[in-house]
Amino acid sequence: MGWFGAKTARDKHFAVVHLHDPWLALGFWCGVKILRLSHIRWGITEHGFGCYSRATHDDGLVQGPRVQRLLRRMEAAVLRAAHWVVAPTQMALEATARDLALPSVPTHWHAIPHCLTPSIDQRSPPLARNLLGWSATSIHILGVGRLVPLKRFDILVEACAIISQRHPSSNVQLHILGEGDQQGLQQLADRLGFGDQLHFSVVDDVQPYYAAADIYASTSTTESFGLANYEAMHAGLPCVCTSVGGVPEVMGIGAWLVPVDLDAVVRALDELITAPATRQSLAARATLQVVNTPTTDTIAARYAQLFQS
């Protein structure tokens, strides 16, 4: 695909090309050299937290130490050759530099955050719950993400099961939005007596769920940015998020940050469920955190400046 991109850039007389992982960029870089396209400026987005070979390894593409060393040397070479490298947080850039054994973050690397969707659903919780068919008297906890091991939804399911047993009158309902294999999580919930209170959905529009939920929770082991966390915070939800990757930089005071630990997640959710004032305080902190969020136009202007410089 990188080679195809280089031929397309030649045929259509492109001056700037942006690639979305270092292996695409490797193919493109080879194409630039072979086709002698020295006039084209190009750069890369590093989407994972840390180098790309580590991110794919953490996501389940297991690589041995020799392969990892080779891939990291190749990735470092590609990132040196690029005119720019972008990651969504400064912490992600620093992690990538460490993974590639660089003494510091190079000057041509830039942190540019992700954009939000154009608007956040402003409908009231009762209207949103009515739309989704949710009970008006239950406590609804929302999780969003792919159903893969690194997201650790098993921690969230078990935490909600424990909370449900402690506070049966709250009728805790857990809604997980995301694609993947639901079977393991459903079996865990059934074993814990929480099966009927766990709900899975795959949707195109997440906004009504943010509007309807009482609490948002993320128990992931890694996030370079955490767009779902970011959207939940902008929706004014009290958020419980694991303090991993770039999450502390993105969420700041707008979330209750916890380690990837069942007891810590249970403590946070227990407090938020039993103390409405704490939920309101955390939601207010979320509102404060998003005051200075860059707009889509601002982020687009930063990319434009990068491409034109």
The pLDDT of residue 15 is above 80: yes
Confidence of residue 60 (pLDDT cuts 50, 70, 90): confident
The pLDDT of residue 121 is above 80: no
pLDDT of residue 161: 98
Q: pLDDT per residue over 209-233, tens digit each?
A: 999 999 999 999 999 999 999 999 9
DSSP the chain: -HHHHHHHHHHTT-SEEEESSHHHHHHHHHHHHHHT-TT-EEEEE--SSS-HHHHHHHTT----HHHHHHHHHHHHHHHHHSSEEEESSHHHHHHHHHHTT-SS--TTEEE-PPPPPS------HHHHHHHHT--SSS-EEEEES-BSGGG-HHHHHHHHHHHHHH-GGG--EEEEE--B--HHHHHHHHHTT-GGGEEEE--S--HHHHHH-SEEEE--S--SS-HHHHHHHHTT--EEEE--TTHHHHHGGGSEEE-S-HHHHHHHHHHHHH-HHHHHHHHHHHHHHTTTPPPHHHHHHHHHHHHH-
Mean pLDDT of 64-77: 92
Q: pLDDT per residue over 239-280, tens digit each?
A: 999 999 999 999 999 999 999 999 999 999 999 999 999 999
Whether 2-113+297-308 shares its CATH topology with 125-289 is answered yes
The pLDDT of residue 173 is above 80: yes
Q: What CATH class is the domain 125-289? A: alpha beta
From the options 3.30.70.20, 3.40.50.2000, 3.30.10.20, 2.40.33.10, give the CATH code of 2-113+297-308.
3.40.50.2000
pLDDT of residue 113: 93
Query: 119-128, 185-194, 231-240, 276-285: lowest mean pLDDT where?
Result: 119-128
pLDDT of residue 275: 94
The pLDDT of residue 54 is above 90: no
The pLDDT of residue 117 is above 80: no
The pLDDT of residue 174 is above 70: yes
pLDDT of residue 59: 78
The pLDDT of residue 103 is above 80: yes
pLDDT of residue 57: 80
The pLDDT of residue 172 is above 90: yes
Give the chain's mean pLDDT: 93
The pLDDT of residue 118 is above 70: no
pLDDT of residue 120: 61
> What are the extents of the domains in the chain?
2-113+297-308, 125-289
pLDDT of residue 61: 82
